[in-house]
Amino acid sequence: MRIKTIFIIVITILLTIVIMQNNNPVNLQVLFFSTRTSALMMMLVAAIAGFIIGYLAGRPKMKKIGNDYDHGYDEGDDNTHEGLNKDKRNTLSDEDREYIS
């Protein structure tokens, strides 16, 4: 098992123990609303919201799908953009082509 997995399991167990021990009722006041609920439910909702926010913030970013050739500049003459190939498929050097053949 990886360290990250073990860490998540230990934190989940500790969180479950703390939540289950706090089942007494508490007053919850949000802006103008006031209600009475158990501390267990409050902590459970906060833990789930924290998990969802952490998951969404930690996931890899999705790559933008679009035109590979649109880099925001005019493609005038070839000398203007040295080192940039217009044809992305033609990036092999002659030596590489010779080696493959």
pLDDT (tens place) for every residue of the chain, 101 residues total: 788 889 989 988 998 888 888 878 888 888 888 989 888 888 888 889 998 998 888 877 776 665 555 555 555 555 555 555 455 566 778 888 888 87
Query: Cα(53)–Cα(49) distance, rounded to whole angstroms?
Result: 6
What is the amino acid identity at position 67? Answer: N
> Given this model, what pLDDT does residue 9 score?
92
13: burial class by Cβ within 10 Å (0-12, 13-18, 19+)?
A: exposed
Print burial letters for 28-58: b (CB count within 10 Å at least 16), e (below 16): eeeeeeeeeeeebeebbeebeeeeeeeeeee
